[in-house]
Every structure is written in C-alpha cells, then in structure tokens.
Structure 1
Amino acid sequence: MPSFPRIGLMARVQYPEVVDSLRYLISDLGADHSLMVEARAAAFLKEESLDDEGIDYPVCECQEFADCIDLAILVGGDGSMLSAAREMVDFDVPLLGINRGRLGFLNDIYPDEIGPRVREVLAGNYIESSRFLLETAVTRNGTEIGAGIALNDVVLHPGQSVRMMEFELYIDGHFVNSQRSDGLIVATPTGSTAYALSGGGPILNPDLDAIVLVPMNPHTLSSRPIVVPGNSEIEIRVSDLNELHPFVTCDGQNHVETEPGDVISIRKKAKQLRLIHPSDHNFYEICRSKLGWGSRVGAIHRNNKNP
C-alpha cells in the first residue's frame, strides 16, 4: 500500500507556472492515486480553462479536504506554504512543497524534477520534520482584541510611520528590558532564515526547540538578538508613552493595530506542522544554495595540497 494513498493538491496564487504544475500532478498521479483538489486550486485550474481537457477530480473546501487526504501537495512559493501551514496545522495532514517561488526554503521540489521526486516520496522514501508555530494574542484592558498564528514570525512594527516605538519585554514573567526601536521580530527556527535573518538574527537549525527575538533598529547598541527556550511565554507591553499605534503581524498577515498599554502575548502553539521532504533533504545544503555560503572547493584544495 502506498505511503500516502489519498493526495490533495493545493495552491494559493494563480500564476501560469503554478497552474502548469497542478495540471502535471493531476496527469501524472491520477492513475495510481486517489486525488482531490482544494477549492482555490480548482478555481485556478478552471479559470485557465484546463479542466476542459478531460481532467476529472473531486473538489473540496479546506476543512472537508483535510479530512479526506493523507498528504497535501502545495504548489507555490514559501509565502503560499506559510498560508497553507496556518490553515492545515490543526488537521495533522503532512505538507509537501513544490517550489514555484524564489527562495524555496520550505518547498523542496523544483518544477523540472516533480515527477521522480514526488514518486519517490509516495513510494515511502522521504524525511518528515515537525515545525512549531507561534500563537499570539493582543489584549486591551484585559479583553482580547486580536489573535493569530505564525510559522515564521510574529512582528511588532510601526506600520507606515518612521518613528521609533517604546515597549517592555517580559519572558516567563521576568522583566527583560525596555526598548526604543522600530519594533521586535519574534521568530521560530523556521522563520530564523526569513525576516529575522534580515534583521541581524542568528540562523537556527529547524530541529531546535527555541525562539529568537530580534530588535529592529534599536536605539542602543546593547540591544541584541536573544534566543530563548521554545516553551517560553513572551509578553510585550506597549508603553503608555507611545504616540504611535504599532501593528502586530503574523507571517506578514493578520494585522492588529495596538494602542499604548496593550499587551502582546506570544507562545508556542501546541499542535505542530508536519513537513515532508525528499530523502536527501539537507538543511545546511539549502543554506549554502539559498544564502550563497561558500562551497567546499577551497577546503578540499587546501587539504590536498602537497606539504
């Protein structure tokens, strides 16, 4: 019996190349697997008039779709994977990514290798990893006014303003510091290679149970990124002295506007995301290729040089 007999196809952006890959997957896998297409991906196919060519598949909305599949294949970029992860994490359905974006930190399979790579996974040759998400809530005078979840990061930022904000940071109930800066990035290991990296934060191996906090353009040089245990309870209190109304975003979505005195609580989400990778998946090789790290050529040359 195949490792994943029931396969669902997903997409979050309607680009021609995304639709091409969806169509290829339907054609390549339809004969041997039970296929289902999530409603948004099906709409993209229909609008491109590709379903007029005899392709037959069941279509479902996200929740019903998740209950009927063993594996979801997401076609798109990392942003599409972030969206799908937030939607699917509670259903315990593993996700496999086909990269139709730019970097592809989360989507491992390139378009020119879809056939053999996907068949290898479906034959049982794959690596599964667990990634935790962050959940956040914003409270005002003890009442929750907004909430969200994030696979990459929760960010406190000033919106369109160019003025600094002031806030206090607490971890596990302990006061850490008060800070004047452009904001704060709170990232998972998965998100450590995204916005947090651009802000000067460290790269965390995705297997780590840790959270990184990265100040954004702090007013003092002593404000540095800090890595804390993954089960930490993080609290950000927006200073009463602020004239700004900072925003809180989760993976760049779910914008919540705060006011002075609001409290932002961030913690690890109990349910974790299941990601599927090809059997030769290697985090450090991905960093080398995506971030332009040096190769081993120089080291090999030095090691082989005659004394």
Structure 2
Amino acid sequence: MPPLFRRVALIGKYQPVAAGGTARSAVDTLDHIAHFLMDQGCEVVLEAETAANTGLPHYPVADVDGIGRECDLGLVVGGDGTMLGIARRLARHGTPLIGINQGRLGFITDIPLDGFAAILPPMLHGEYEEESRPLMRAHVVRDGEVVFEALAMNDVVVNRGATSGMVELRVEVGGQLLANQRADGLIVASPTGSTAYALSAGGPMLHPSIPGWVLVPIAPHTLSNRPIVLSDAMEVAIEIVSGRDVSANFDMQSLASLLHGDRIHVTRSDYCVRFLHPRGWNYFATLRKKLRWNEGGS
C-alpha cells in the first residue's frame, strides 16, 4: 500500500565543525533517514539550506516555498529550535510537520531518533494524531510606521541590554492599560512557548488547546507584578518608556533594537502550524517525560 505522504521534505539540524564542514554524524543521520523514507515508497526532497550545509548528493532540493507548494509533509530532524525555525516559514502553506528529536528536550519534536524506524511507517500511512497551533504576529511601530515585523511560535520577549538597568514598559491589553512595569523585561508567550523561557521566568504552563497567552514579567521591580493569562483574541501592546539597549526577540531568532516610544504590537496570526504525532500521543505524557515528573512512581 503506498504511503499517504508521497513527497516528503527532509529538514535537518546541522552543526558546522571547526574546519568549516558539517559534523559527519549529522550528515549520516539525514542520509540514513532519507534512504529509510525511500524504502517506504516516499520521494525525498531536501530543504535547500539543509542540502547546502550537508552536501548530501542525489536528492531533489527545494526552498521553503517550493516545499510548501510541492511536498505533502515536512520531516524535521533536530531539536525544538530547528522545528521552530521551519514551522514559522511553512505555516502559511499548511504543510504538516513531524519532528524527530536529535536535541535534548524536545517538546515539539517528539519522536526519538533511535525509534523513528518503528514509529514513522504507520504515520506515513495515516495513523497519527494531529494538532494545530496558532502563531503570534508581532510588529514594531516607530513614529507611526512599522519598522520591523515577524512571526513567532513560542514567544515575543522585550528585555534590557546585558549591562544596563531595568526597563520601564507600558503594557496595554485590548486597548486598555494593564500596567506600567519596571523589570528586566517582559515575555508574551503562546501555549507552545509556555514551556520555554516563560516557564523558567516563573510563568504557568498552558495546555496547547487553550486559545490564550501568558504575560510574564522578568525579574520585576515590584514583586506583585505576577504572570497573567490572557485571551489570544486580544492585542498586547508594549511601549518602551525608559531603559537602555532595549531589544525585542521573536522566538529568540529574530531581533529588533528598540528606542524610547517604540511600541510592539502582538496579535494572533492567521497562520497555524500543523503537527503530526504518533498514534496515542498526549500532551501530559510529554510533560511527564520531559520535566521528569513522577520519577520512580507507579
């Protein structure tokens, strides 16, 4: 029986070595997975940057837009950072994604590398759990003009420079003043991002099905400034009141340097990321495993 996903894009994590090449084990892993997919009856297409950095021959190559137009599935080999980078870019195409975890934690790349050969075949034939996670859209407004914009899947973070003091931020939600906060920074996190930086800053975890965000101050000057859960239908606006070397990060991969008076507007994007998980997958099992809950329990 032919697989449900006939044309599969392979997107890899690659680690350049000192000599300027790429770690051999990463290349071998991708090549092994590519051959495995072909044995399952799939046509393999290498994502362009993956192909350029690994030098793997004999495979068709496509950029992200080409993958979105031509491929039935994206298979991401790496950690959550690798998945975040490609998920934002493929979301507008609606391409489903499966993650093979080659990193350490892996909340959204949930197939272990040493188990993919047993787990992938039924998924390729339609036996999987699917979930959809919305992206965040953020833009920076300066003197009435948009000077920077980006999509984020985890979080939008406004923070101070490494050697500067606190920043003062005016925070509005749905057009209404929430607070003026003095802190090291502020995190606006999606449910996906609630287990990332926001969690280490003291924020709560949000189940992925909750249409909400969590607003988490980073080391606030006033300890009564606590995390708050908001509807993701409401726009969050953050204005830079004071502070030096203030910046905004979007999934920690995009950066905008900010000036006093700049406003960062965060809204729910029209795009969602489609994740496919093995049959039987559930969010709470992921939390137990990744956060080591109930170790030694029954």
**TM-score bin, normalised by smaller chain:** over 0.9
Q: 2:137, 2:151 within 8 Å by CA — same for their partners in 1?
A: yes
Q: 1:18, 1:75 within 8 Å by CA — same for their partners in 2?
A: no
Task: Show the 5 A alignment for 1:1-307.
Answer: 1-14=2-15, 15-31=23-39, 32-46=41-55, 51=57, 56-239=58-241, 242-295=242-295, 297=297
Q: CA deviation at 1:295?
A: 4.5
- C-alpha change, 1:233 and 1:38, in structure 2 (3 Å) is same
The corresponding residue for 2:18 is none
The corresponding residue for 1:305 is none
- C-alpha change, 1:45 and 1:13, in structure 2 (3 Å) is closer
CA deviation string 1:254-284 (max 9, x = no partner): 2111111111100110111101111121211
Q: 2:186, 2:217 within 8 Å by CA — same for their partners in 1?
A: yes
How many Å separate the matches in 1 of 2:49 and 2:264?
Answer: 32
How many Å separate the matches in 1 of 2:233 and 2:197?
Answer: 21
Q: Which moved more, 1:27-36 or 1:133-142?
A: 27-36
Q: What RMSD in Å do the two structures reach over aligned CA positions?
A: 1.5
Q: Larger Rg: 1 or 2?
A: 1
How many Å separate the matches in 2 of 1:233 and 1:74?
Answer: 31
How many Å separate the matches in 2 of 1:243 and 1:205?
Answer: 34
Calculate percent identity across the aligned residue pairs. 38
Stretches of structure 2 that go unaligned for 5 or more consecutive residues are: 16-22
Q: 1:10, 1:75 within 8 Å by CA — same for their partners in 2?
A: yes
Q: Which moved more, 1:257-266 or 1:287-296?
A: 287-296
Alignment length, in residue pairs? 289
Stretches of structure 1 that go unaligned for 5 or more consecutive residues are: 301-307
CA deviation string 1:193-226 (max 9, x = no partner): 0000000000111111110000000001110000
Q: Which has the higher strand share?
A: 2
Q: 1:21, 1:111 within 8 Å by CA — same for their partners in 2?
A: no
Q: Secondary structure at the match of 2:270?
A: coil
Aligned amino acid, residue 224 of structure 1: R
Q: Secondary structure at the match of 1:272?
A: strand
Q: 2:168, 2:243 within 8 Å by CA — same for their partners in 1?
A: no
Aligned amino acid, residue 67 of structure 2: F
Q: Which moved more, 1:35-44 or 1:282-291?
A: 35-44
Q: CA deviation at 1:20?
A: 2.7
